[in-house]
Structure 1
Amino acid sequence: MSGHPDHVRMPRGYLWLFRLGCPLLGFGLALVVKPLTRWMIETLDSAPGPLRLAAGIPTSWAIPVLVVIGIGAGCWLSHEAERDSLAVTVRPDGVIAAQRDTERYIQRSRIGAVFTDPEELVVLTPAGREILRSSATDLSKTQLTEAFRHHDYPWWGTRDPHEEHYRNWMDGDPDLDEGIHALLRTRQEALRSDNRAETERVHTQLQDEGIAVRDRGKKQQYRRISDHDTTTP
């Protein structure tokens, strides 16, 4: 185990794809906008206003204008992509997760399991309560594995140590009391309306009631959180 931290974040190449790709698209659009607009008018008898406007600009002007617009769009997209992407720092004493201008430190002694599920990074306490569940679609699974194993964390790879305990939620199931069903209904509505803040709030409430929940497609799955856990990866 090394004392040096390991950093896992979105590959820089992804960001350069935005920064270089958008200006190239702008350049290409400047070359084809006139024939494209002409074809649409001749074939469909109409063309969108922005295309008509761009087609009215001389090509010698359209190229630098659209390239500059592409540069601006590429810089903005790369900034937003980096801001929205999860960045993980694994240290001997704990883990730092940064996403959407928010940083969170998780002390090593609180961590009982770490895994991906399937495109989210999940950190559990020894009792099975979720400390972290964040989208990790932009992160290398190989780098995550190496970082957590390098510091001897309980890394489970793509396996949830509590997989066999999850059940599909059915409203009214007697296995759960009405208060839990009400929270799961609220969470379901928040998911449908893409209300991230409400989804996270109810997720925390459910854990306070001893229920862990995750999503599989359009279904919610739940399990009970035990007082202790003896699983090892």
Structure 2
Amino acid sequence: MTTVQETAAVRYGMWVLCPAVGAAAVWGLKLAAAWVAGLSWFPFQGVFELVTEIPEPWASIGAPVVGAGLGFVFALIWAADMLSVEVSHERVALKKDDKRFEFDRGEVESAFTEGKQLVLLGPNGAELARESSDLSARKLEQAFTGQGYRWREVDPFADDFRLWVEHTPELPPDVNGLLAARKKAITRYEHEEAAELAREIRKRGVYVKDTKKRQYYRCEP
């Protein structure tokens, strides 16, 4: 079995780096607050004036604590978005956050990357999975071909995708509703919500991908 995931330095280092960067950033904000508050043209003056009004030693103690907390939250979001891929002769497993998706060998016809997304296709052209990650496309290709799976350079169904607009006539009302909800999630940068909605849409035989915040879809072959 071959496993492709972020390096140990990234997986473990982010829990130290993110809080440290957050603490340093908020500490820097605290140091610059008095100077910025004196610049009448600078936006968000109220925020900087509020910072200067916090008494010592609470300002000096609170700044790094708050910054570290914000950094820790960022690390949690980052960890939840990491994808781990296990490829063996028997099956392919994708793990993200607390979710695990498994596909038997016979279900997977081929795999490819499109931008930062890993896509798995079934023998009938069905899209089994489309998951975002920062994993190396070269390492993913090596993992799949090393276990005997077919790797594609491009999506063979790329020309079948169409731009989605509200109330698309050929789509059922429930799919149009899910796509409308997903559009809102994309606009709000709610990436996991958008990914979960895409999985729900896939269960209904419709496959969706994004280009510049626009949704494109194709229907099950």
Query: What's the TM-score, normalizing by structure 1?
Result: 0.73
1:139 alignment partner in structure 2: 135
Aligned residues: 209
Aligned CA-pair RMSD: 3.2
Write the distance in 1 (CA, Å) between the matches of 2:4 and 2:118: 14
- After superposition, the Cα gap between the structure-2 partners of 1:219 and 1:193, relative to the gap in structure 1 and judged at 3 Å, is closer
CA contact (8 A) 2:83 2:96 kept: yes
Whether 2:81 is the aligned partner of 1:84: answer yes
Residue matched to 2:26: 26
User: SS of the residue aligned with 1:33?
Assistant: helix
Kept in 1, the 8 Å contact 2:84–2:94? The answer is yes
Matched letter for residue 191 of structure 1: R
Give the secondary-structure state (helix, strand or coil) at the position aligned to 1:189: helix
Aligned mates of 1:11, 1:109 — CA distance in 2: 32
Q: Is 1:153 matched with 2:149?
A: yes
Note if contact 1:10-1:87 (Cα within 8 Å) is conserved in structure 2: no
**How many angstroms apart in 2 are the aligned matches of 1:201 and 1:149?**
29
Q: 1:61 to 1:193 in 2, by over 3 A?
A: closer
**Compared CA separation, residues 57 and 171, structure 1 to 2 (3 A):** closer
Post-superposition CA distance 1:163-203 (Å, at most 9, x none): 34444567899xxxx66354553343223232645553233
Deviation at 1:215, TM superposition (A): 3.9
Distance in 2 between residues matched to 1:153 and 1:27, nearest whole Å: 51
Identity within the alignment, %: 22
Residues 25 and 70, structure 1, Cα contact 8 Å, conserved in 2: yes
- Tell me the amino acid that sits aligned with residue 154 of structure 1: R
Report the AA paired with residue 199 of structure 2.
E
SS in 2 for 1:71: helix
Q: Bigger shift: 20-29 or 58-67?
A: 58-67
Contact (CA 8 Å) 1:168, 1:222: kept in 2 or not?
no
Tell me how far 1:128 sits from its aligned partner. Answer: 1.1
Structure 1 runs, 4 residues or longer, greater than 6 Å off: 170-173
